[in-house]
């Protein structure tokens, strides 16, 4: 709702009430409409201030309402009515003015903000555009070029930047409502025509068409199939070229298309998934709201390879003192040189002051004795990690949290060699660790709620999306990747080329297909894991069935030929020398595949794009259902957040489990059954998937509840 009060001196104050962010729900819109009417009718009122309760102006339209029928007064006429008021109206912006919240402020004649306020039109991140006049008013206020930047990126700006851009009239370090009240009193009675943004022309550069074309091609390239950024540019083209009323018509038309698109639903689901995973719960009953996190101020990182260096930077950026340990002298010397530069660069990128002197480098493990938390990031080798954990357990003071950055090894085995297994958790970062948003926090059967809460809290401080996951080989992300990679290799055996597979996946929206990705991360990573698992190596027969399952030795043979990917200049593609980045098809690979097929009596067939997507993605999704069934992830949102934030799953497709819901569970089941083969267990449909289909395929938002019920009734 919104409340109305009359302040001494003829100012009406309208306050939005809808915790936590005063989103513009039907009740709030109704409250505003009524309050504005009252202010208009009251002859004693000469000016109006609109503000939000609890120091937050407004977080925009109420996203939860988008899923249901539109009730209450519509936003667009409400906003027009405010602009048309013949008494000065000011927005007093504290906290946030985002999306519809900023559009409400743009309808006001003046905008006064607190210096800590944040403003923006982030609709594009929800698959929408600023559809309450924002796409037409903002460019009229700050010019086309700046509006294109804000609206197509959806980025939040500080009050200082908003003042510089001309969005705000005044910024204060004191109370913004008091200043706004004082301000509107001083301007009461003055003409308002020039303050009504809808009446102004849109300031454009002389080469407006070339600017719009340039931005359009940039967003198309960046957004890989996302509709909203393209629609935003179209709306801004209308603002630049059409009178306001026609621009609004275009805005409405574009908004209607976006509103009904699956992409908007996917992006809104992704918004809420990100928040759901923060409210973690473990099978033991420990939860985010009943477990206490420790506040860490001193930490250590063991191992300064690529991952360790990134983790040091991520910790240091939060202001934590870090002891960075590397026992190999050469690696230590290089890290001591490179890490400070990385820190400075990243701090600059985030517009932070570089925290001075928080990192100390050492080659001695004894130097971690005083820290509160250690993150081990040594080579992915169990015997080495066990050695490190044993050592840490004796060196660190009692109560120190011991975390491993393993990407899939058994956390419980590591915990078992320490004196306090409850204080051991996995903190699985993704490369580059100071940039990538995802953090898998892996709990073992003995990890304490305090250890999980601390790792999750630390992740949040580092700006990560932390997802609590159970302990199993590969955890969630890498476990699901295995069947995906496996299918991609099988497709090569059957007649596809690396480029064909990659193009299908890139067309779907992944930034990189599976083979370009392998080349980037190095083919030897998986090779080493397969050797450890006894799947390849000296003495293992070169057949296409290993350990009772279909197996493709193709990637092993690539490694044996010295083709490890970008680092060797050759992998599934060829590059301009070692470290090259531009992937070109390599005739060598085509001959290699033909020879391989001939040796194994395989006849290449033509494979459709649809089959590539189905086999790769449905195999991955099926493993997602197995993971839910095994309670390794608490809900589909956890899996989806992992894939969106760590594995390049296109955000506008919500995540693999959301995608399964969109495609239809019945169809996924039917296609898995069709592709399934006795020696490819990953394609055998999971029991959970079957049970969901049998229950009428409830929507993804209901799966968590369904799984819990099935578990109670021992059906899973």
Ligand X SMILES: CCCCCCCCCCCCC[C@H](O)CC(=O)SCCNC(=O)CCNC(=O)[C@H](O)C(C)(C)COP(=O)(O)OP(=O)(O)OC[C@H]1O[C@@H](n2cnc3c(N)ncnc32)[C@H](O)[C@@H]1OP(=O)(O)O
Stretch that binds ligand X, among 131-139, 291-299, 404-412, 421-429 (CB under 6 A): 131-139
Place of tokens 């590591």: 414
Nearest distance from C-beta of residue 98 to ligand X, angstroms = 4
Which residue among 103, 346, 440, 614 contacts ligand X (CB under 6 A)?
103
Compute the distance between CA of residue 642 and CA of residue 623 in angstroms, rounded to an integer.
14
CB count within 10 Å of CB 547 equals 9
CA 225, chain centre distance (Å): 17
* 123 part of the active site: yes
Compute the distance between CA of residue 35 and CA of residue 58 in angstroms, rounded to an integer.
16
* 103 part of the active site: yes
> Can residue 132 be called a binding residue for ligand X (CB under 6 A)?
yes
Residue closer to ligand X by CB (options 26, 540) is: 26
> Can residue 459 be called a binding residue for ligand X (CB under 6 A)?
no
Q: Binding string, 7-26, against ligand X, x = CB under 6 A?
A: -------------xx-x---
Residue 246 φ then ψ, to 5°: -70, -35
- Give me the catalytic one of 103, 326, 376, 637: 103
Residue closer to ligand X by CB (options 247, 310) is: 247
Asked if residues 252 and 413 have their Cβ atoms less than 8 Å apart, the reply is no
Within 260-299, which residues bind ligand X (CB under 6 A)? 260, 275
Nearest distance from C-beta of residue 643 to ligand X, angstroms = 20
Place of tokens 């480029």: 499
> Can residue 539 be called a binding residue for ligand X (CB under 6 A)?
no
Stretch that binds ligand X, among 57-65, 339-347, 438-446, 573-581 (CB under 6 A): 57-65
Q: What is the side-by-side strand order in the sheet with 157-158?
A: 96-98, 118-120, 157-158
> Can residue 247 be called a binding residue for ligand X (CB under 6 A)?
no
Measured CA to CA in angstroms, residue 372 lies from 227, 365, 403, 427, 452 at distances of: 46, 14, 11, 15, 14
CA 361, chain centre distance (Å): 32
Compute the distance between CA of residue 15 and CA of residue 411 in angstroms, rounded to an integer.
51
Nearest distance from C-beta of residue 578 to ligand X, angstroms = 43
Maximum separation of any 2 CA atoms in the chain, in Å = 94
Within 616-645, which residues bind ligand X (CB under 6 A)? none
Compute the distance between CA of residue 148 and CA of residue 167 in angstroms, rounded to an integer.
14
Compute the distance between CA of residue 92 and CA of residue 350 in angstroms, rounded to an integer.
28
Which residue among 2, 15, 62, 688 contacts ligand X (CB under 6 A)?
62
Which residue among 1, 63, 188, 436 contacts ligand X (CB under 6 A)?
63
> Can residue 256 be called a binding residue for ligand X (CB under 6 A)?
yes
Pairing of strands 298-302, 321-325: parallel
> Can residue 131 be called a binding residue for ligand X (CB under 6 A)?
yes
Which residue among 31, 134, 474, 646 contacts ligand X (CB under 6 A)?
134
DSSP code of residue 193: G
Compute the distance between CA of residue 145 and CA of residue 346 in angstroms, rounded to an integer.
27
Which residue among 16, 144, 202, 255 contacts ligand X (CB under 6 A)?
255
Token pair in block for residue 534: 């006894």
- Give me the catalytic one of 123, 376, 506, 637: 123
Stretch that binds ligand X, among 98-106, 387-395, 511-519, 622-630 (CB under 6 A): 98-106
Q: Which residue is nearest to ligand X (CB)?
A: 99
DSSP code of residue 566: G
> Can residue 81 be called a binding residue for ligand X (CB under 6 A)?
no
Residue 408 φ then ψ, to 5°: 175, 0
> Can residue 60 be called a binding residue for ligand X (CB under 6 A)?
yes
Asked if residues 372 and 335 have their Cβ atoms less than 8 Å apart, the reply is no
Which residue among 3, 5, 64, 384 contacts ligand X (CB under 6 A)?
64
Size of the site for ligand X (CB under 6 A): 28
Compute the distance between CA of residue 396 and CA of residue 517 in angstroms, rounded to an integer.
38
Which residue among 2, 33, 61, 373 contacts ligand X (CB under 6 A)?
61
> Can residue 506 be called a binding residue for ligand X (CB under 6 A)?
no
Within 110-129, which residues bind ligand X (CB under 6 A)? 122-123, 126, 128
Which residue among 39, 98, 304, 485 contacts ligand X (CB under 6 A)?
98
Nearest distance from C-beta of residue 231 to ligand X, angstroms = 12
Compute the distance between CA of residue 350 and CA of residue 352 in angstroms, rounded to an integer.
5
**List of residues contacting ligand X (CB under 6 A):** 20-21, 23, 59-64, 75, 96, 98-100, 103, 122-123, 126, 128, 130-132, 134, 255-256, 259-260, 275
Q: Which residues are catalytic?
A: 103, 123
């Amino acid at each position: 709702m919104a409340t109305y009060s009359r302040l001494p001196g003829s100012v009406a104050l309208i306050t939005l009430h809808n915790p936590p962010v005063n989103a513009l729900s039907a009740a709030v819109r109704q409250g505003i409409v009524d309050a504005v009417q009252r202010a208009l009718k009251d002859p004693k009122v000469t000016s109006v201030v609109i503000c939000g309760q609890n120091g937050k102006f407004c977080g925009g339209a109420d996203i939860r309402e988008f899923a249901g029928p539109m009730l209450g007064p519509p936003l667009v006429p409400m906003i027009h009515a405010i602009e048309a008021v013949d008494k000065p109206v000011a927005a007093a912006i504290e906290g946030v003015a985002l999306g519809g919240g900023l559009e409400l402020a743009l309808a006001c004649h003046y905008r006064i903000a607190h210096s800590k306020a944040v403003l923006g039109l982030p609709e594009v991140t929800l698959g929408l555009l600023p559809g309450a006049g924002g796409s037409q008013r903002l460019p009229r206020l700050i010019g086309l070029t700046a509006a294109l930047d804000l609206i197509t990126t959806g980025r939040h700006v500080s009050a200082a930047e908003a003042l510089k851009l001309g969005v705000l009239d005044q910024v204060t370090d004191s109370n913004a409502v008091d200043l706004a009240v004082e301000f509107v009193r001083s301007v009461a009675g003055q003409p308002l025509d020039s303050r009504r943004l809808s009446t102004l022309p849109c300031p454009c550069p002389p080469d407006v068409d070339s600017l719009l074309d340039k931005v359009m091609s940039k967003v198309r390239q960046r957004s890989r199939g996302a509709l909203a950024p393209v629609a935003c540019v179209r709306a801004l083209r209308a603002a630049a070229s059409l009178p306001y009323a026609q621009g609004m018509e275009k805005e409405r038309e574009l908004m209607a298309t976006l509103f009904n698109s699956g992409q908007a639903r996917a992006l809104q689901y992704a918004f809420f998934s990100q928040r759901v995973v923060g409210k973690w719960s473990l099978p033991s009953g420990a939860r985010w709201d009943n477990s206490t996190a420790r506040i860490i101020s001193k930490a250590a990182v063991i191992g300064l390879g690529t991952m360790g260096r990134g983790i040091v930077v991520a910790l240091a950026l939060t202001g934590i003192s870090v002891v960075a340990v590397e026992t190999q002298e050469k690696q230590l010397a290089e890290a001591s040189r490179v890490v400070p530069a990385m820190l400075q660069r990243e701090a600059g990128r985030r517009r932070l002051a570089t925290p001075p002197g928080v990192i100390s480098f050492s080659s001695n493990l004894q130097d971690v004795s005083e820290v509160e938390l250690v993150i081990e990031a040594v080579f992915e080798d169990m015997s080495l990690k066990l050695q490190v954990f044993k050592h840490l357990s004796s060196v660190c003071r009692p109560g120190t949290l011991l975390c491993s950055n393993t990407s899939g090894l058994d956390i419980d085995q590591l915990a078992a060699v320490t004196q306090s297994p409850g204080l051991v958790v996995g903190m699985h970062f993704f490369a580059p660790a100071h940039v990538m948003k995802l953090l898998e926090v892996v709990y073992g059967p003995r990890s304490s709620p305090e250890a999980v809460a601390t790792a999750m809290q630390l992740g949040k401080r580092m700006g990560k999306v932390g997802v609590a996951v159970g302990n199993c080989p590969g955890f969630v992300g890498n476990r699901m990747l295995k069947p995906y990679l496996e299918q991609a290799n099988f497709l090569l055996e059957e007649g596809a080329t690396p480029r064909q597979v990659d193009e299908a996946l890139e067309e779907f929206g992944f930034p990189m297909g599976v083979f370009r990705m392998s080349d980037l991360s190095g083919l030897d990573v998986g090779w080493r894991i397969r050797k450890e698992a006894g799947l390849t190596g000296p003495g293992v027969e070169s057949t296409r069935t290993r350990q009772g399952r279909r197996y493709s030795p193709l990637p092993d043979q690539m490694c044996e030929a010295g083709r490890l990917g970008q680092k060797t200049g050759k992998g599934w593609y060829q590059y301009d020398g070692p470290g090259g980045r531009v992937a070109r098809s390599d005739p060598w690979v085509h001959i290699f595949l033909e020879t391989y097929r001939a040796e194994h009596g395989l006849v290449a067939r033509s494979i459709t794009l649809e089959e590539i997507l189905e086999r790769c993605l449905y195999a991955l999704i099926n493993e997602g259902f197995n993971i839910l069934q095994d309670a390794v992830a608490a809900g589909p949102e956890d899996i989806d957040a992992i894939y969106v934030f760590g594995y390049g799953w296109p955000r506008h497709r919500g995540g693999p489990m959301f995608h399964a819901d969109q495609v239809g569970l019945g169809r996924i089941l039917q296609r898995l059954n069709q592709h399934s083969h006795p020696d490819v267990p990953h394609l055998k449909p999971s029991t959970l998937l079957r049970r969901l289909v049998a229950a009428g395929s409830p929507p993804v938002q209901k799966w968590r509840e369904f799984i819990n019920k099935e578990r109670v009734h021992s059906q899973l």
